[in-house]
Amino acid sequence: MKLSRPVSWFLLVFGVWSWVIWVTFVKNLVKDSSGLAFDDGHPTAYFWVHLLLAVVSFVWGTVIGVIGLRGLRALRRNS
């Protein structure tokens, strides 16, 4: 399957965006002082669920970004 240039760029940008957003979220999650993420210094279910969401998003963002990058490289080789 051959990806178009706009689709490849979209996938690559989505992958990068996913990393930027979720890294920021994890940093804020770790610093949380509202009591949602930590209860007396121990991680709560809220923390674990959101950390799992972040890890899954890192994986999917990486996969999607790599597909976009490979699409752009293939287009460059064929030009």
- From first CA to last CA, the distance across the chain in angstroms is 16
Section 8-30 average pLDDT:
96
CA 37 to CA 34: how far, in whole Å? 8
Please determine, for residue 38, whether its predicted confidence score (pLDDT) is greater than 90: yes
Please determine, for residue 79, whether its predicted confidence score (pLDDT) is greater than 80: no
On average, the pLDDT of the chain sits at 94
Q: Which helix (H) or strand (E) holds 7?
A: helix 5-30
Residues in the chain: 79
Q: pLDDT band at residue 27, thresholds of 50, 70 and 90?
A: very high
CB atoms within 10 A of CB 6: 8
Q: Which helix (H) or strand (E) holds 42?
A: strand 42-43
Q: What is the pLDDT of residues 39-55, one digit of tens each?
A: 988 999 999 999 999 99
pTM of the model: 0.85
CA 68 to CA 5: how far, in whole Å? 9
